[in-house]
């Protein structure tokens, strides 16, 4: 059985409340680089050297361009992880919010959506006496 309008509206309220409590969020992915760099004179090219890193980076797209930020330490990395997790939550919530709104739009009758059900009735009531008076004159 499909959900009623009231049920859907309370679902939408709950989703909007969840969105409000999201906190900081950003898209992106965290990756790590380690190993040898491009400088042949660097210590990382000496035999037995474990190389650089690991260096953590946050990468994301902004206006079609890939942006990369370095995450210098553990707190910075954990902060970015929290922000990315919140962004996933945001995406999930906005998809659900869209679905609920689609269902609401489908269910809501046109008169209720206008919020002026009385307007049509008034217009209809005005046209009725005119037609009766015309028919009475002929
Ligand atoms: Zn190096």
| Residue 100 domain flag | yes
Q: What totals of helices (H) and strands (E) does the chain contain, helices first?
A: 4, 3
- For ligand 1, the distance from its centroid to the CA atom of residue 78, given in whole angstroms, is 26
User: 6, 1, 19, 3: which is closest to 97 by C-alpha?
Assistant: 19
Q: How far is the CA of 28 from the centre of ligand 1 (A)?
A: 27
pTM summary value: 0.66
Determine the distance separating the centroid of ligand 1 and the alpha carbon of 69, expressed in angstroms: 20
The per-residue pLDDT for range 74-105, each reduced to its tens digit, is 999 999 999 999 999 999 999 999 999 999 99
Q: Is residue 137 domain-resident?
A: no
Dist. CA 119–CA 22, nearest whole Å: 41
Total number of domains constituting the chain: 1
Alpha-carbon distance of 19 to 105, in angstroms, equals 21
Task: Answer positive or negative: Cα dihedral of 50, 72, 20, 28.
Answer: negative
- Output the CA 57–ligand 1 centroid distance in Å: 17
Is 104 among the domain residues?
Answer: yes
Share of the chain above pLDDT 90, in %: 62
Q: Has residue 136 been placed in a domain? A: no
Give one DSSP letter per residue of 64-96, joined into a string: TEEEEEEE-SHHHHHHHHHHHHHHHHHHHHHHH
Is it true that the peptide bond before 54 is cis, omega within 30 degrees of 0? Answer: yes
Q: What is the pLDDT of residues 3-35, one digit of tens each?
A: 799 999 999 999 999 999 999 999 999 998 888
Higher pLDDT, 58 or 131: 58
Instruction: Print the domain residue range for 67.
Output: 5-37+44-131
């Amino acid at each position: 059985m499909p959900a009623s309008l009231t049920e859907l509206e309370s679902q939408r309220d709950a989703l909007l409340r969840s969105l409000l409590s999201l906190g900081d969020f950003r898209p992106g992915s965290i990756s790590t680089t380690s190993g040898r760099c491009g400088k042949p004179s660097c210590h990382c090219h000496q035999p037995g050297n474990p190389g650089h890193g690991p260096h953590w980076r946050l990468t994301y797209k902004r206006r079609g361009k890939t942006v990369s930020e370095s995450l210098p330490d553990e707190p910075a990395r954990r902060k970015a992880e929290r922000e990315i997790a919140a962004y996933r939550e945001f995406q999930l919530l906005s998809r659900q919010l869209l679905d609920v709104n689609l269902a609401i739009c489908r269910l809501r009758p046109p008169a209720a959506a206008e919020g002026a059900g009385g307007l049509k009735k008034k217009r209809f009531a005005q046209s009725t006496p005119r037609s009766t008076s015309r028919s009475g004159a002929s």
